[in-house]
Structure 1
């Protein structure tokens, strides 16, 4: 699988499809960031069209550089409604670990969107980057975000440690970890 060329549909989880962000997603992205609960948990903010365009550009540049694989999560059972985002923040090949993150729109919370989408991203990441030595994924969140603890647990990310607060985060945080199980597939040789 060429993980650097993902312009089309990506991983799936039931009715959920993870796909690259599109310019047509701008209005839904701006609307998602209007949610005060979401804004309180994220370092980046999107308040208008200019910030949304910049956010989309950062996602695209990260994908092109191979350092950030951000997916819009859409619900195919609801006319491809945007229900969230998942992201793999991948450091240099050979480091063995990467960070995952996610958010869901307010109307999608409580429907199992986050664990399903995070599970699909996790499976994709371990398969797509097996040849690069990826064996561990980290999920970070502030201590007061109990919903993220539940999502981590449902997605197979075990609690690993408490992280001290550091800007821009005013509170201590949690690090949850998921380790790839099984042996990585060997690349096919001609």
Structure 2
């Protein structure tokens, strides 16, 4: 299948599937308190990094999760992921994080845009029509990333455990998709 032989591209960044060798960089990235605040899976040591990587590998094998390490000049600066809870569904979710040292340089919008273009291309024949980007309501930086990446604000999502605050839903439709009205 096409999506297994291609990968996203982004200006000035390398996006590739995660590898076991990324574990030390993951541990370092997760030392950042901001990243830890907005993510739910701690990565404090080699064992937790191995579990985190295993989730990525299992998701890719199942066709439900396509996570990519975002590298700039050979350094891990972020993560972008396409989450397809149900392969063949018309919608999927985009997620990401950026390492503290890389924030403010446009890494996240470039990586999200690259993942978005790849996802709509790779899964068009599989029925993918819409991508959603969700974040906690107090994460203003994620709102900016969503907007810069072409994901307009759609609505507020009520708080739901484990997320203590209301969230924001941003959505982007594939450009060649037209609305169908009854």
| TM-score band w.r.t. shorter chain | over 0.9
Alignment of 1:19-34 (within 5 A): 19-34=16-31
For the residues of structure 1 that align with 2:146 and 2:132, how far apart are their CA atoms?
Answer: 10
For the residues of structure 1 that align with 2:156 and 2:177, how far apart are their CA atoms?
Answer: 29
For the residues of structure 2 that align with 1:53 and 1:98, how far apart are their CA atoms?
Answer: 25
| 2:67 maps to 1:44 | no
Q: Which stretch shows the higher mean deviation, 10-19 or 131-140?
A: 10-19
Q: Tell me the CA shift for residue 183 of structure 1.
A: 5.6
For the residues of structure 2 that align with 1:154 and 1:119, how far apart are their CA atoms?
Answer: 9
The gaps in structure 1 that reach 5 residues or longer are: 185-190
Q: Closer, same or farther in 2 for the Cα pair 1:142/1:183, shift >3 Å? A: closer
| 2:7 maps to 1:13 | no
Asked whether the equivalents of residues 12 and 120 of structure 1 are also in contact (C-alpha less than 8 Å), the reply is yes
Alignment of 1:84-123 (within 5 A): 84-123=78-117
**3-state SS of paired residue (1:114):** helix
Asked whether the equivalents of residues 4 and 66 of structure 1 are also in contact (C-alpha less than 8 Å), the reply is no
- Corresponding pairs, count: 178
TM norm structure 1: 0.90
Runs of 4+ in 1 over 3 A off after TM superposition: none
**3-state SS of paired residue (1:4):** helix
For the residues of structure 2 that align with 1:119 and 1:32, how far apart are their CA atoms?
Answer: 22
For the residues of structure 1 that align with 2:26 and 2:136, how far apart are their CA atoms?
Answer: 23
